[in-house]
Each structure stands twice: as structure tokens, then as C-alpha cells.
A = this chain, B = another copy of it.
């Protein structure tokens, strides 16, 4: 196992076995002292950060992880400032920038972009989000959060609420969860239900239930994973307002929840979770970002084979 991530691309959570996922989480657990004390295990290594979409959070999380391990970073934060402006295709960009560093972190709006990049690149490529399907490091940090906060991933009941149709984080997390013995409750209005193609891939591996009403299932949940509703997805603004109201998480709405319920969110949130929830024991969405740095430190360490 130890060396199976060496020089490996991280494109989809679906490329990983349960054992590999657990191994990454195990390594993540060893990262906290390195974060606290600082480390030089990636000294001299250069991370090339190619963000074709704005994503401050994910970009800074990777850059922080790289710096915490003693490495350096270069790149661009949006396509407008890049050669893309001049019409260069991704395959060419990759064959150029592979000469500038030791690993590529790629965020791209197109489905399949990261896989294509990995095919052309002679250095490892990590997918930091591509299209509506894949965001493997987010899935890993979400799994790490569950394990860390609940002590296990198997035998948890997880509700996902919000935009299950377009949100890549819920898709990647659903794929990841399919490796575990979980009950997955999908809570969404008709227009934002989880895509059929995602469901088909996981349906025979885990128990899935769909509902439109959050209160029906809330009392049973161990994890509530909330995502942003994007106004632009709705043709009818009044429908948006109705759904938003129905799914908004407040301290009040959590009365029926278990004491041990944890609430997660990939962030940024708009108003899916009211701020009075922030101070409850349930709120783990800011903690997730902390776990995100640790998870990415683990991934970088494994790819560069500095962990054994």
C-alpha cells in the first residue's frame, strides 16, 4: 500500500479502493504535528496551481498544504490571465507547465479535464474540481471529517440536502461513501434531485433513500451535509424562495436532531445554514477546512512518497 500513491494522479474518488481511501485518512491523521511544527519534507518541490475557475478556498487549501510541508507554489488563479485567453488548448498548456514544477493541481469547468491533463502530463496531476462530477480531495476531506468527528464511517446515516443535481462535492462524496456501509438520504426538491448517472453507480453498493422533506429524516441522521442552492438553477424565482425556506437549517430546526449530529458544508454558504447554528456542537463546516489542509498534506506527501 505504502507506495501505491507514488507519482500517482488523483483524478476521481472512483479510482480508489476502500483500502486506499482508509490509508489516506490514516496518513492524514499523522499530519497535524507537521502542520503545527512546520516541515521540510517537500523542500525544493514546486506545485503548479492551475485554476481555470475561481476557487479561493480549494486553491488556498492546497497552497497552504504545500507550504506547510516546505514546498513552493506558482500558477494562476483564473483563466483570464492565462494563455487560455489566446486560445491554447489544455493539452498544450499541460505540456508546457509540466516543465515548471513537480505536481499540477488543476481546477477546470469541463468534465474530464483533469483526466485529459493527466494523460498528457509527465508529472502527477491532482484534480481540484472538474465539471459537475469530480472533486476527489473534497470527498476525502469530507470522509476524514466524518471519521474524525464520529469515530467511524461505516454504519453512519448521512443526509445530503440542497443542490444534489449540480453540486460536484455531493457527487464525489456519494462515490466515496459507496465504499462504506452507510445509509444515504438524499433530500432535495424535484428539480435538484441527485442525477440518475450518479445514483446508478452507487445504488447497488449502499442504501439510498430519497425525500423532499428534511424533517422526516433529520432525527435519525448522524451527518447532515448541506450544500448551496444556486438561484440561477431556478427558472421560477418564487420556487427558489420556497425551496430555500424549506431547507434552511436553523438552531430551531435542529431540535429534533440527535445530540451527536454533525453538520457539514463544503462552503461557501449563503444562507442555507443560519449563523445561530455556528455556535452549536453540531457545526463542523469550519472544522472541515482545517481537515482539508491536513488531507491535502497527506495526499501531497503520498504522491511525493515522503511518507513511509
Report A's interface with B, CB cutoff 8 A: 37-38, 43-44, 46, 48, 54-57, 60-61, 63-64, 67-68, 72-78, 80-83, 85-88, 91-93, 95-97, 99-101, 228, 267-270, 275, 286, 289-290, 292-293
Contact = CB atoms under 8 A, between A and B. Distances in A.
A241 B69 CA distance: 51
B92 A268 contact: yes
Given A83-B56, A95-B286, A64 B100 contact: yes
Nearest to A83: B268
A268 B54 contact: no
12 contacts: A46-B64, A48-B60, A54-B82, A54-B83, A57-B96, A60-B76, A67-B72, A73-B74, A83-B267, A91-B275, A92-B267, A99-B292
Nearest to A38: B44
Contact of A269 (B61, B64, B88, B292): B88
A42 B74 CA distance: 17
Contacts of A68: 46
Contacts of A95: 286, 289
A270 B74 contact: no
Contacts of A74: 60, 63-64, 67, 73
Q: How many copies does the complex hold?
A: 3
A85 B54 contact: yes
Contacts of A83: 54-57, 267-268
A75 B82 CA distance: 16
Given A46-B67, A54-B82, A75 B87 contact: no
Contacts of A289: 95-96, 99-100
Contacts of A48: 60
A61 B46 CA distance: 12
A87 B54 contact: no
A78 B72 CA distance: 21
Given A56-B76, A83-B268, A96-B289, 17 more contacts: A38-B44, A46-B64, A48-B60, A60-B100, A63-B100, A64-B74, A64-B99, A72-B72, A73-B74, A76-B77, A77-B81, A86-B270, A88-B268, A88-B269, A91-B275, A95-B289, A99-B286
B88 A267 contact: yes
Contacts of A267: 83, 88, 92, 96
